[in-house]
Amino acid sequence: MTLSPDASGATDSGKGERIAKRLARAGLCSRREAERWIADGRVVVDGQRLTTAAVLVTPASLILVDGKPVAEPDRTRLWRYHKPAGLVTSHSDPEGRPTVFDHLPADLPRVISVGRLDLGSEGLLLLTNDGELARRLELPATGWVRRYRVRVHGTPDKAQLAGLDRGITVDGTVYGPIKAVLDRQQGSNAWLTVSIKEGKNREIRRVMEHLGWTVSRLIRIAFGPFQLGLLNPGEADEVAGRVLKEQLGQDHAHHRRAP
């Protein structure tokens, strides 16, 4: 079979789909990681070692990564996972710290995370076998609110909290609207409920510290329509297929069906 170059990046169901997208759908990696794998010479399609990601593949294509065949993508699946503090949200850590993926329940297939939680953060982390879904849910355009319970050291000022709804700039980084509500003050500590849409790197910690309050616990309790609920630390629970379709719409479900 002759590989089809495709410089535009568009996918035509009559011709196939981009190789990076195909690897992401198989749950192996993100599109960006797939492009790095190709640059490193790790991907072979129908006997040809790829040098560019601008290649279209079809269900008939034989795809190898590191010499191992890549199976057809499974149906899209999503799990809620209660990430404990002290784990890195990465498949490997150069510093040798324990990772989320080292501590997942044994019955989970290979999954990737939807976004990340910092080493010291805990709570709801969504996991999926579909890299395209992870990419879609991470985009700010999806508009899903991430909600957190946050314990800070200090006495938060309600007027300052209300002002976060207009957004804030910290050390040159512009953060969008943040909804922050004081739940209770306990001595020198306070509990807040904080809701954001973007989730930039260490956003809540940086904003709170900028206002003079040090974050001592940060627990994500919701990501869009999905809740942490009563999951214990380290537990994972699969989202029912029916619920997934309701929340994601039919377009993604259709996207995953094999031709």
Q: Decide: 111 and 105 in contact? Cβ < 8 Å.
A: no
191 and 216 both lie in a single domain? yes
* Confidence grade of residue 28 (pLDDT, cut at 50, 70, 90): confident
Do the beta carbons of residue 238 and residue 141 sit within 8 Å? no
Together in a domain, 101 and 171:
no
Asked whether residue 196 falls in the same domain as residue 209, the answer is: yes
Domain that holds residue 110: 78-141+225-256
CATH number at residue 178: 3.30.70.1560
Per-range mean pLDDT, top range of 1-10, 168-177, 199-208, 214-223: 214-223
What is the count of structural domains for the chain? 3
Same domain, yes or no, for 183 and 236? no
Q: CB–CB of 216/204 below 8 Å?
A: no
Report how far residue 141's alpha carbon sits from residue 145's, in angstroms, rounded to the nearest whole number.
Answer: 11
Q: Choosing from 66, 118, 157, 183, which is the catalytic residue?
A: 118
pLDDT at 2: 41
**CA proximity to 235, closest of 103, 136, 140:** 103
Does the active-site annotation cover 107?
A: no
Residues 161 and 106 in one domain: no
Q: Are residues 229 and 201 in the same domain?
A: no
101 in the same domain as 217: no
Tokens of 83: 């990430």
Regarding whether 236 and 132 lie in a shared domain, the answer is yes
Are 120 and 235 part of one and the same domain? yes
Q: Which of 69, 92, 114 is the C-terminal boundary of a domain?
A: 69
The CATH number linked to 44 is 3.10.290.10
Q: What is the dihedral of CA 241, 247, 250, 254, to 10 degrees?
A: -50
132 and 249 belong to one structural domain: yes
The mean pLDDT of the chain is: 86
Do residues 194 and 180 make contact, with C-beta atoms less than 8 angstroms apart? yes
User: Residue 6's pLDDT is what?
Assistant: 46
Q: Which of 28, 49, 224 is nearest to 112 (CA)?
A: 28
Q: How far apart are CA 249 and CA 251, in angstroms?
A: 6
pTM score, whole prediction: 0.75
